[in-house]
Amino acid sequence: MTCKPLSLLLPASLLALSFPALAVADDNDGQIAGGTISGKLTFATDYVFRGESETLDGEIPVVQGTLGWSNPQGWYGGLYASNIKFRDPNLEIVTAPYIGKFGEFGQSGFSYDVMVFSYLYPNASYANYTELWLRVGKTFGAAKLQLEVTPTLDDWFGVTGWHGVNYAIHPSYTLPGGFNLSGSVGYQDLYSSDNAAEGWTHWNLGLGKHYLGLDFDLRYHGSTVDKDHKVYGDQTVIFDDRLVFGVSKSF
């Protein structure tokens, strides 16, 4: 069995076509439908999602990108996509439209982010599925802590009767010199009525830096998947610990 993704690269013309409702711009303030458009393009040595290499153990580098829209009220939407590689030759690209809302709980200092995120595979629609991302965060000076609960809304990775929930903690800390230390520890729960599914723990730790208009990130990923795992025991190599380097440009 193969697994899941998150990321992005599509021609700009295709990305623009995914936002027909935003086609009317306000010439007075440069906004589109009351909000603004932004994007991000990333080049990385691998694409790791919850401990798993989405490129068949780093066989190919990835080009990823996001094109999104957001407004002052905290509503946002967009498209996220990436090249990928799995045992299934039809899994070459993932495109992920998303929509969500972020904000703060009154004056508490606690933030929230609710997003519906759909994984769509143009050449393998049988693998499509959708998740609901729920996050709550709090900033403590130079530190920030974010808690995540992300359940699937339909069959996980298109496997009938399989569902999952990802639980994770995402801490980060701003260091002197503009460096940012960030990480994640989570558990991808996976369950099915036939008891054939099994979850796993995943983690990462990385150092980021904004320099010359670019964002650099060096990150170490790991997981608890081993040869006895019910789902991935025959392909543990895609869950091996690995170091990933990426560089991004926001616009």
Say how far apart CA 80 and CA 141 lie, in whole Å. 31
- The pLDDT of residue 30 is 61
Q: Looking at the domain assignment, is residue 90 inside a domain?
A: yes
Question: In 86-99, which positions are buried (b, 16+ CB within 10 angstroms) versus exposed (e)?
Answer: beeeebebbbbbbe
pLDDT in tens, 168-217: 999 999 999 999 999 999 999 999 999 999 999 999 999 999 999 999 99
Structure tokens that stand for 240 in this block: 């091996």
CATH code where residue 106 lies: 2.40.160.40
- Residue in the block written with tokens 């796993």: 200
pLDDT in tens, 129-176: 999 999 999 999 999 999 999 999 999 999 999 999 999 999 999 999
- Please report, as a single letter, which amino acid is at residue 41: L
**Residues of the domain holding 16:** 12-250
CA angle centred on 159, ends 134 and 97, rounded to 5°: 45
Q: Looking at the domain assignment, is residue 166 inside a domain?
A: yes
Which of 235, 214, 223 has its CA nearest to residue 40? 214
Contact 75, 101 (CB under 8 A): yes
Q: Looking at the domain assignment, is residue 183 inside a domain?
A: yes
pTM value is 0.87
- Split at pLDDT 50, 70, 90, the class of 29 is low
Q: Looking at the domain assignment, is residue 7 inside a domain?
A: no
Number of domain units in the chain? 1
Q: Looking at the domain assignment, is residue 191 inside a domain?
A: yes
Q: Looking at the domain assignment, is residue 237 inside a domain?
A: yes
